[in-house]
Amino acid sequence: MTKLERITARERAYVQEVLEAQFRTSAGSRMNTRLERKFAERFQSRYAIAFINGTATMHAALAAAGIGPGDEVIVPPLTMASTSFAVLHAGAVPVFADIDPQTWVIDPKSIEEQITSRTKAIIPVALYGLAPDLDALMEIAARHKLFVLEDDAECFLGYYKNRIVGSIGHASSFSFQSSKHMTSGEGGMITTNDEHLANEIRRFGSLGYAAVGATVGKITKDTIQDPAYERHASLGFNYRLPELCAAVALGQLEHLDELVTMRIEAARFYQQAVAGCRWLVPQATPPGYVHSYWTYTLKLANDNAFTWADFRNKYLALGGDRFYAAWQLTYLEPAFRGQVFGADQSQEFKRGLCPVAEAIQPHLVQLKTNYFDPTLAEQKAEALHRTIRFFER
């Protein structure tokens, strides 16, 4: 694979097109409209609606689904806290279900255990680029009449049983934040096949404007200049994606296959480096799943004679890059730990809530895959192999 440029002439040309229009209102939303149409097509959905970030997307989808105060939304604890923040932004309460011990994504069995009369939705996360068991989740949701919002911020062009991730839940959220497979610095997208839901999502993210909808992101001058026009059909936020960001995202989308393949190739180098190592275990990818490898993540065995920090320091000394630990489990973050967000909150946010996640999180190693030069990715995999050999002496 040849070296890639993350930002190409295509993105620059689209940005220049926006600048040459000088932000005239008559030219507004052109890039957003083009981006949304292409995104919907690529992710096999009827509708795609652009947002300022991948947290606003989830807030809007939950609100559009009618979820609010008194409701509970089941989420995984092992992910970026934004997933749970979005639930709180909607006025609902996050409820944490434990994770599968091999795939580290939300466990359907644990979801079943957490359902109460107040449960209204599930937000499964495609962790590190790997989908959860979406068939099982959708079956649970159908039985209990729950809304399923896929959080696919880390999963572009991942597949679940021959279906693209982002086309299976009632709605799906993507992020264009700078670390993601495709980026516009910040930004996000919601996909759905439900026209009513798409209309509500658009209005919620566009100040409640009456004239916008599933495929319409801008009010025309003829409409808005009428003195009798009633603009705001409902309350909403200004969560719209700027045209400059949309221009960059459109260019990124048009070479997304290359950007994802680059990360998958980096993951293959790592796979070769860890082959045969019994104390460094990769995230399991079940048959029929295609992992898109936002990161390549490994779990250190619990009984090693060395620590997570020892491993990281040696990897750096032998030529590896700095890597992240997994996020602290959301309910153990200071913003959540011991907090009560609802009068009838069914969980106490403290250690012991999700024992599988608590056992795994301290031992995770999240290795970078965004190497636009494959030679560099190969070098980092070799550094990993040398690190393994050092600790096996």
- Write down the H helix ranges in the chain: 9-20, 30-42, 56-64, 82-89, 108-114, 134-144, 195-204, 221-224, 243-253, 256-274, 308-317, 355-360, 374-391
- In whole angstroms, what is the distance from residue 178 CA to residue 163 CA? 26
Compute the 3-state secondary structure of the chain and give helix, strand, coil in percent, each to the nearest 5: 40, 15, 45
Furthest C-alpha separation in the chain: 80
- What angle is formed at CA 59 by the lines to CA 336 and CA 295, rounded to 5 degrees? 70
DSSP code, position 236: -
Task: Please say if 180 is a catalytic residue.
Answer: yes
Q: Which sign does the torsion angle of CA 108, 110, 111, 112 carry?
A: positive
Q: Which of 26, 14, 9, 10 lies closest to 246 in space, CA to CA?
A: 14
Instruction: Tokens for 275, please give them.
Output: 């082959």
- In whole angstroms, what is the distance from residue 208 CA to residue 205 CA? 7
Given 38, 145, 180, 299, which residue is catalytic?
A: 180
DSSP code, position 25: G
Give the residue numbers marked as catalytic: 180
